[in-house]
Amino acid sequence: MNSAKEHQKPDVWYGLDLIAAAEAREAVEYALMEAGALGTETNDAPNEGPGWLQVTAYFDATPERERVRAELTEALRIYELPSSAVREMNVREVPNEDWLGEWKKSWQPVELGRLVIAPPWSEVKAARDRVVIRIEPGMAFGTGTHETTRLCLKAIMRFCKGGSFLDVGTGTGILAIAAAKLFPQARVAACDTDADAIEIARENAQLNGVAERIDFRVGSVDESGCEPVTASADFVCANLQADLIGQLLPALIGASCGRLVLSGILDSQVDAIVEQLQGLGNSGNLVMMQDGEWVALVV
Ligand code: SAH
């Protein structure tokens, strides 16, 4: 929730319930957020038997079924799952107080090496060397809980030396904010094609006291008009989906004069990206990092 939404405090929210196959959890949660949900909650679905989950997405206005369906179809396609992985869709009204408190409690800080990613309301004990990143969850992708984000953060801690940093597809701004906080001298730029994400990323940067240090732009790495953001950077992070990485690869390579991190790749999709990299003359020094079925390539 961003603060504007919280001040509004509608009396009633709309809960959209779905039954989803366990392996479709990530795809479904992602699709529901893309369809405008402010938060999702996932529990076992005991009546459906093992392997099924009940997913509820919360909206501040009646959700548009067509949009939800379209986002679900797209997410299932990307994750290579059948449409039968999602069943039933019901909308019900939910009194405000019921879920907001519960939802907030469900966001726990995520620790990753020196980094702690935490929502604004949670208490995190200060410790030497610890870098706390505050992210308002629920409004854009990138809260630190997803493997693809964590792989990028690990790659930044392992390979980034400061200098100039470019975050392509910044979402909540998490990677750009991490770079700005870990490397106080770094020059950080971030772009996203989604103007709402850029607004949210700016708010998150403010929350972390680094808004002045990050050059946020609406746009992508292959668009002219974005030159100040895409002029080559010592470290480029792109946490996008594999098909997008494929399309943007020449531009991403062009935007990097040092390390390039490609994340958001399922292990079944790695070979195609590696082949494409080789075709573009980037075969040496490739580091592969993996977390579950997700892979990040460091070029
Ligand atoms: N960097 C964050 C968010 C990744 S989600 C993290 O690591 O968690 C991917 C983001 O890329 C989304 O916010 C989406 O809007 C954005 N995006 C999609 N296509 C893009 C493109 N062609 N150029 C730039 N950003 C894009």
Q: Which residues form ligand 1's pocket by a CB distance below 6 Å?
A: 140-142, 149, 152, 167-171, 174-175, 191-194, 197, 220, 239-240, 244, 248
Mutate to test the pocket of ligand 1, among 110, 239, 265 (most ligand atoms within 8 A of CB): 239
Mutate to test the pocket of ligand 1, among 26, 216, 244, 289 (most ligand atoms within 8 A of CB): 244
d(CA 98, CA 102): 7
- From the CA of 124, how far away is ligand 1's center (Å)? 28
Q: What does the pLDDT look like over 84-112, one tens digit per residue?
A: 999 878 899 887 665 666 667 767 788 99
Residue 124 is predicted with a pLDDT of: 86
Q: Which amino acid is at 76?
A: L
**Edge to edge, what strands does the sheet with 214-218 contain?**
214-218, 187-192, 164-168, 233-239, 256-266, 294-298, 287-291
Residue 5 is predicted with a pLDDT of: 39
Distances (CA, A) of 2 to 96, 132, 136, 172, 197: 16, 19, 7, 11, 12
- From the CA of 101, how far away is ligand 1's center (Å)? 29
* 3 state DSSP class of 60: coil
Taking the CA of residue 233 as centre, how many other CA atoms within 13 Å lie in the half-sphere pointing to its CB? 30
Residue 10 is predicted with a pLDDT of: 58
Extract the residue ranges of the chain whose pLDDT is less than 50.
1-8, 225-228
Residue 122 is predicted with a pLDDT of: 84
Nearest CA to ligand 1 atom 10: 169
Q: What does the pLDDT look like over 260-283, one tens digit per residue?
A: 999 999 999 999 999 999 999 887
Residue 141 is predicted with a pLDDT of: 74
- From the CA of 240, how far away is ligand 1's center (Å)? 5
Mutate to test the pocket of ligand 1, among 110, 141, 220, 236 (most ligand atoms within 8 A of CB): 141
- From the CA of 191, how far away is ligand 1's center (Å)? 8
Nearest CA to ligand 1 atom 26: 169
d(CA 16, CA 267): 31
- From the CA of 193, how far away is ligand 1's center (Å)? 7
Q: Hey, how many other C-beta atoms are within 10 angstroms of the C-beta on 150? A: 20
d(CA 39, CA 245): 27
- From the CA of 146, how far away is ligand 1's center (Å)? 13
